[in-house]
A and B are shown apart, each in its own frame.
Chain A
């Protein structure tokens, strides 16, 4: 499902020093597999996910998703592949505040090959327990409900791969556990592979397969390596 080979990414620090943040020789995920990736804040794991998702262009190496090589595509191609095969759950949910719950999910679908499907969006929202909140705006929901919208949005398009970046980082322990269970359960139902990154041992402990990002990332291990703004939690 996901194959990463010799993936590299470096950034130039404000001082003008180029530093490598990601160097992953090999990483793979099978269809339907659920893997948790352990990593400290600033270790480059968000950048790794951005590279897989094609949000960032890699300096070198290959990322293949469901047979399509992300790293060989231009920006528009990466957008298309991301919209068609990937679901992304962000730590801060990244919901569109001016759009209703239903519109957030419908918009997420509309960029994919299947296009917007309101019935499908409603079905997924009902699945995550928000069928009665379709017309609400994110600001009118609790934090846990917002994360459920984000999960619904990531899965509504029936992606092959779901990337989750600290999805419980903004939730309390109880809601975090519920959100995590929901993500894993819905991914299983949709047959999507799940790659989740976290530094929270309570979250990591729930996964059968856990990998240490530091073990697969050969970059950024020397002191003073610059970190891109995108990968730093402030």
Chain B
């Protein structure tokens, strides 16, 4: 009871510096955990986001650009490919499903993507999960040139779209209110949330994009990319050889996950910088514990001398100061969890809004216990120097009456 009482009273007595120091520890701890989790979670989420497709076929160009455009609905399309190319790959015996998409328009910044109903009927965007339309709606269908649209869950929420609403698309991928098309589309369904980039898209029949007023009439049958499901994994290497090495007109991005992993490989230095910054913040926080306790040592010298005069051993005094530093670290680590959850929720929301990829805020990772423990350890270490000072407090000299 003695040690906890000494620590508790000391923390209370220096409440302001305790709160400020624990606050800086909390920020450091929360930041460190958040950086780590965003890094690992986003890498996992992005590389696993294939929306059910193994490969993407597109115009000759960057595989990464092709995947970002066709799967994540980011970046510009690298170019078009002819409808015949789509027909060709669709008939290939190694291909299970081929879904064409056409991009080029938006509704207030959210992409309008033309496709075929098979996307929603045949494809599982994740194992065992198919796209579904929320109650009260339906898929576009019937005539290929029907002016109908199905809104992704996120875009519907953001733009307040519901079944029966109408809209006129804007030309291009970036919103410019002066570039509005004349065609009026009617929302016939809102998709159930999939937590994938698909949620950020307004889907219309592919003919709708191809024949939109103002689009190049020569490209009226072109598609932006073809999303492909393969029958076997080995087929991907065969198609890769066929399109990428032997051909020079089209690009096959395969496998989708590996291409995104390459992106993370290219920005690994950024991760390292962030991690380094987070480590430095942690060190500074531990230093602040040292400075805070060390600076208060003069005020505590008399108390420590009194405790020694009452019979407290040097090692108890040493232990009390180190344990107090560790307690500040523990307090900071606990609050750090709240900081972490707040930061991660904010970052996850931004990533979701920008890419449609959803991070698992409740995911578990070793960093979530290693980081708080390391902070407590670092803080305890920061307490060693003031503890040595406390250990060496000369009792008789310190207790000399001052009048």
Contact = CB atoms under 8 A, between A and B. Distances in A.
Interface in A70-116: 75-76, 79-80, 82-84, 88, 90-92, 94-99, 103, 106-108, 110-112, 116
B395 interface: yes
A222 interface: no
Contacts of A88: 309-310
A142 interface: no
Given A103-B5, A116-B2, A94 B311 contact: no
Interface string A223-234: 000001111111
17 contacts: A46-B400, A55-B308, A55-B395, A55-B399, A79-B308, A80-B311, A91-B401, A96-B307, A103-B9, A107-B6, A108-B311, A111-B313, A232-B400, A233-B401, A234-B400, A234-B401, A234-B403
A110 B2 contact: yes
Contacts of B13: 97-98
Give the one of A55, A94, A169, A170 with max B CB within 10 A: A94
Given A55-B395, A55-B396, A233-B403, A98 B309 contact: no
Nearest to A86: B311
Contacts, number: 97
Contacts of A228: 396-397
Contacts of A96: 9, 303, 306-307
Contacts of B1: 110, 116
Given A111-B316, A233-B401, 16 more contacts: A47-B396, A50-B396, A56-B396, A79-B314, A82-B311, A83-B310, A90-B309, A96-B303, A99-B9, A107-B5, A111-B2, A153-B310, A169-B401, A230-B397, A230-B399, A234-B403
B10 interface: yes
Nearest to B400: A230
B309 A53 contact: yes
A80 to B, nearest CB: 7
B311 A97 contact: no
A113 to B, nearest CB: 10
B168 interface: no
Nearest to B310: A108
B16 interface: no
Give the one of B13, B310, B395 with max A CB within 10 A: B310
A94 B312 contact: no
Interface in A183-234: 228-234
Q: How large is the interface on A (under 10, 10 to 19, 20 to 34, 35 or more residues)?
A: 35 or more
Interface in B20-79: none
A112 B2 CA distance: 11
A84 B5 CA distance: 20
Q: How large is the interface on B (under 10, 10 to 19, 20 to 34, 35 or more residues)?
A: 20 to 34
Interface string B370-403: 0000000000000000000000000111011111
Contacts of B311: 79-80, 82-84, 108, 111-112
A1 B310 CA distance: 20
A79 B313 contact: yes
Contacts of B303: 96-98
A90 B12 contact: no
B312 A79 contact: yes
Contact of B401 (A76, A82, A83, A92): A92
Nearest to B11: A98
A55 B398 CA distance: 11
B403 A107 contact: no
Contacts of A55: 308-309, 395-396, 399
A229 B399 contact: no
A229 B398 CA distance: 9
Give the one of B13, B396, B402 with max A CB within 10 A: B396
Interface string B309-329: 111111110000000000000
A57 to B, nearest CB: 10
B310 A107 contact: yes
Contacts of B306: 94-96
Contact of A94 (B5, B399, B403): B399
Contacts of A99: 5, 9
B313 A76 contact: yes
A178 B301 CA distance: 31
Nearest to B2: A110
Contacts of A46: 400
A107 B2 contact: yes
Interface in A143-189: 153, 166, 169-170
Nearest to A99: B9
A53 B309 CA distance: 8
A128 B402 CA distance: 26
A231 B400 contact: yes
Contacts of B10: 98
Contacts of A230: 396-397, 399-400
A82 B9 CA distance: 24
Nearest to B10: A98
Contacts of B309: 53, 55, 82, 88, 90, 94
A95 B399 CA distance: 11
